[in-house]
Amino acid sequence: MWTDPGFNVTRSRWGANSTGLLYVADMSESTTTTQDETKRWLAERTWAEPGQRIDITVDDAHRAVVVFDGKGSMPGARALIELIDAIRDELGHEIRISALVDMRRLDGAPLRAQFLIGKWLLTRKKQIAKVAVFGGKPFEMGVARAVMKIAGMGQQAFFGNHASEALAFLGWPSERYPA
């Protein structure tokens, strides 16, 4: 299982979702994080199982970064939906989020899992202002493109392995996601 050497248990929240999956919301980036740095994210969630990990951060400008690591799966798709819904519950459903999705370390994703996410996106598309996806393999990027098109997502773009172009599309400073 992937471990973060800077993980600080004293600043983390553990939770279990409705399917019993455990997740950790790490509230710090290292054991030396100051009080001001802890406030960097409005919301931060992590889900991990052996060989899989999803990290989500949202800043005060409602810019979300979603990073996939490892093998895609149905439990991972369900966890992604639950993590984002928990963030929406925490921040409010009236806000619109722009998102950067990093798929560089994603090792495949079942079509069923991608369509589950697409179905969920159909019901949330008004809450998402812009989406930029980068780093996926051609198949995953193609399916992500199709899923977002079917879901009727408004402003969306796909950028191969070019994080800087994805950030420019979103109008974000490079410091938000120094990939």
User: Is residue 178, in this structure, part of any structural domain at all?
Assistant: no
Q: Strand, coil or helix: what is 86?
A: helix
User: Is residue 36, in this structure, part of any structural domain at all?
Assistant: yes
- Specify the number of domains making up the chain: 1
User: Is residue 120, in this structure, part of any structural domain at all?
Assistant: yes
Torsion of CA 2, 147, 104, 18, to 10 degrees: -10
Digits of tens for pLDDT over the chain (179 positions)?
333 333 332 333 444 444 444 444 443 333 344 445 446 889 999 999 999 999 999 999 999 999 999 999 999 999 999 999 999 999 999 999 999 999 999 998 898 998 899 899 888 888 899 999 999 999 889 888 888 887 778 788 999 889 999 999 999 998 888 76
Distances (CA, A) of 82 to 98, 112, 151, 167: 18, 17, 18, 25
C-alpha span between 96 and 116 (Å, rounded): 21
Distances (CA, A) of 59 to 38, 75, 107, 138: 11, 26, 27, 29
User: Is residue 100, in this structure, part of any structural domain at all?
Assistant: yes
C-alpha span between 49 and 113 (Å, rounded): 16
Name which of 70, 71, 99 is nearest 83 in CA terms.
99
**Domain range for residue 103?**
9-173
User: Is residue 83, in this structure, part of any structural domain at all?
Assistant: yes
User: Is residue 80, in this structure, part of any structural domain at all?
Assistant: yes
Q: At 55, which CATH number?
A: 3.30.750.24
User: Is residue 110, in this structure, part of any structural domain at all?
Assistant: yes
User: Is residue 4, in this structure, part of any structural domain at all?
Assistant: no
